């Protein structure tokens, strides 16, 4: 009887030990994936040329709007910023109702700074559009998720949540 109990105890101990070893491997693999993603995000931010793709819009005083069905984005580069975002919110003088086309502009930023904080990167840019001036504040987590706040002279501010990625390079002829 004592032999059976000893064998049973050894088998249970081995099963528990194998379970803990697998858990450690999963945690280690997750940590490695997280570190790799952080290196990718750091490389994208350091290149200073990247694409913010919006997933949700968060207008002031309105409900959150899901944007997953369309590809709304902002292309960031020190020499040119191109914005193609929808706008939900209140427009003031200078932004006519009915002919408003969202937050769509292209221009050389008057200001373009990138700073690294303890938990994220912050990109600040100021761009003059055709009829308005836009102040963009992009906060990027080390894992790649991002939040963009757009302030304008003629509209209430709006925020967008999304992700950043590398800019696709145009194909050479």
The strand pairing partners of 65, in sequence order, are 57
Residue 162: C-alpha distances to residues 58, 100, 141 (Å):
11, 23, 11
Token couple for 140: 């990027």
Reported confidence tier of residue 170, pLDDT bands at 50, 70, 90: very low
Residue 52's nearest CA partner among 63, 41, 60, 61 is 41
Average pLDDT over residues 142-162: 88
* Residue 102 pLDDT: 81
Give the three-class secondary structure for 150. Answer: strand
Out of 11-15, 37-41, 72-76, 89-93, the most confident range is 72-76
Q: Is the confidence at residue 150, as pLDDT, over 70? A: yes
Residue 38 scores a pLDDT above 70: yes
Distance of alpha carbon 93 from the chain centroid: 31
User: What is the structure's pLDDT at 68?
Assistant: 79
Q: What is the pLDDT of residue 171?
A: 40
User: Which one-letter DSSP state was computed for residue 167?
Assistant: P
Q: What is the pLDDT of residue 173?
A: 44
In the three-class reduction of DSSP (H, G, I as helix; E, B as strand; rest coil), residue 14 is classed as helix
What is the pTM for the complete model shown?
0.74
Q: Residues 100-146: pLDDT tens digits?
A: 568 888 888 888 888 888 888 899 999 887 778 889 999 988 888 89
Distances (CA, A) of 81 to 6, 25, 46, 56: 71, 43, 16, 20
């Amino acid at each position: 009887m004592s032999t059976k109990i000893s064998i049973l105890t050894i088998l249970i101990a081995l099963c528990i030990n194998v379970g803990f070893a697998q858990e450690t491997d999963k945690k280690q693999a997750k940590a490695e994936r997280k570190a790799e993603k952080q290196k990718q995000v750091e490389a994208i931010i350091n290149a200073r040329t990247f694409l913010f793709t919006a997933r949700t819009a968060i207008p002031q005083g309105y409900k959150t709007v899901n944007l997953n069905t369309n590809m709304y984005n902002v292309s960031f580069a020190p020499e040119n910023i191109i914005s193609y975002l929808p706008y939900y919110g209140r427009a003031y003088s200078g932004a006519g109702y009915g002919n408003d086309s969202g937050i769509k502009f292209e221009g050389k930023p008057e200001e373009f700074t990138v700073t690294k904080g303890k938990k994220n990167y912050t990109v600040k840019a100021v761009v003059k559009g055709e009829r308005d001036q836009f102040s963009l504040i992009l906060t990027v987590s080390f894992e790649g998720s991002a939040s963009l706040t757009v302030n304008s002279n003629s509209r209430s501010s709006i925020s967008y949540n999304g992700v950043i990625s590398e800019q696709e390079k145009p194909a050479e002829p």
